[in-house]
Amino acid sequence: MVRIILPYIISLSVNVFIVSTMSDSGKTVIVSALLRILSTRGFHVSPFKAQNMSLNSYPSIEGGEIALAQAMQAYVAGVKPSIYHNPVLIKPMSSTKAEYIILGKSRAQLLFNEYLNNGAIRRLAINAVKASIRKLTEDFDLVIGEGAGSAYEPNLVSRDIANFRPAEWLRANVFVVLDIDRGGSFIQGLGLMSSLPPRWRKLVKGFIINKFRGDEKLLGTAIKWLEKKTGKPVLGVLPYVDDLWLWPEDSMDLRPIGNGPLDIALIAYPYVSNFNDIYSLILEDDVTVRIVRSPRELGEPHLIILPGSKNVVASLEWMRRVGLDKALMKFKGSAVILGICGGFQAMGKVLSDPYGLEAGIPGNYDGLGLINVNTIYGADKIVSLSRAVGLRGEIEGVEISGYEIHRGVPQYVGDDPLIVIRERNGRDVEQKDGVFREEDLMIGITLHDSLGDPIFRNFVLNMAREVAGLPKRNSLELSSIELLLRQIDKFSSIIKNTLDIDSMINDG
């Protein structure tokens, strides 16, 4: 029966675009759930975010770099992450400057106002967005798009290519997510509709109220008020869900994990990136992951994690400024210290940046000196899905998988590598990486998502368990993508029971 009806449904379907009045309103989660639901119904669906600002990124199938959130949405939709899912990625390097990645490739490092006023880079970005829309609409039954931040800001709207312009180019039905948890959602909805020019107002087909706590009946009067004022329906009210672990878009998603006896401290320095590396730890019921930003908060952990960083030099300067550099030295040999990518680089002796692409200014910079490894930053960025083989410890001879996004290459000046990377994007390589100094309990690795590999996670956590006097154990053998699908299915069931998805994709 489904096979007979499905082609008819698809022929009437229209793309969907989710916007909001603010960041962190739940757009990414709602888009992910819609993709999951439609994919399981048999639709060939694609995520799309024209422009994203995020320090969390991921390799695409083409070998380019896209936002981690759109990679997540691709996996949820049952497709491989592509540069066309996120044609413009902005990665902040400082409070005024960012790296601009267009169709997967780093194109420039500019001040924010330079990006807005640079005609050449803007044309490149606009053309990339339009080319991506053409590609996706040709290859997929449906595209589920997502806006960025607030959908209409008067100082940006004339140059905004993240919200209503791509929605218009997609010819999509637009739905506005209102975050009721932070208050003012009904007024925000009215304010947005009052601000929009008529042609964009027509694209809006309704509102979705998100993150509600309490009795939905209490909203009845307010919902009727908003519908009367705007002429647009409220499609549904979604509850606040606080135990959902999806791949993060920005540092607002950084939060503690668990309540077990194994105490883990995550150092949350500025420009922390790809901290989804720790998300697989939710599978471990004996861990507690605390977010640490000062020596006082460090406590007496059994494991300290130095995560990735977009600007390792700035993160090191911050650690020195707040005193975490000296605090970390006290745990040498008494707690496991794990550095991942930028965190691994920060653990070393010298960071050499001859082009100034990491620090912003060419030079040599001191690391924490916890390990005898230097880092040299090249002009070319390595962006790859990678496979490696362990060289030492409990992972000797074992294959470890993950992904790489970095310019830094380790140079060994006394310590030995932990792994050798054998494959990048399907191509054979031979690159020594990481470090393992057992006597000092130091572990470093460049591969993101390595903790998502159960064997590597066992290796690290069992060392920490030994420090804590806890019994060793084996992790649940579940990949990070399988874990992701389990998590999104929780929210998808809520969406299915709350929103009329057929009406959202109906072109009538």
Catalytic sites, residue numbers: 341, 448
- Nearest Cα to 185, choosing from 163, 211, 164, 157? 211
CA-derived radius of gyration, the chain: 23
Residues in the chain: 508
Answer whether 359's CB lies under 8 Å from 454's CB: no
H-state helical runs in 259-308 = 295-298
Cα(485)–Cα(460) distance, integer angstroms: 25
The CA distances from residue 430 to 57, 61, 386, 419, in Å, are 24, 21, 11, 10
Most distant pair of Cα atoms in the chain: their distance: 71
Cα(333)–Cα(343) distance, integer angstroms: 18
Cα(417)–Cα(411) distance, integer angstroms: 10
Cα(264)–Cα(377) distance, integer angstroms: 30
Pairing of strands 16-20, 363-366: unpaired
Q: What SS3 string covers 232-255?
A: CCEEEEEECCCCCCCCCCCHHHCC
Cα(340)–Cα(114) distance, integer angstroms: 32
Cα(198)–Cα(156) distance, integer angstroms: 18
Cα(32)–Cα(178) distance, integer angstroms: 17
- Nearest Cα to 421, choosing from 444, 403, 441, 443? 403
The H-or-E segment that residue 380 falls in is: strand 373-390
Q: Which residues of 195-217 are buried (b: 16+ CB within 10 A; e: fewer)?
A: ebeeebbebbbbbbbbbbeeeee
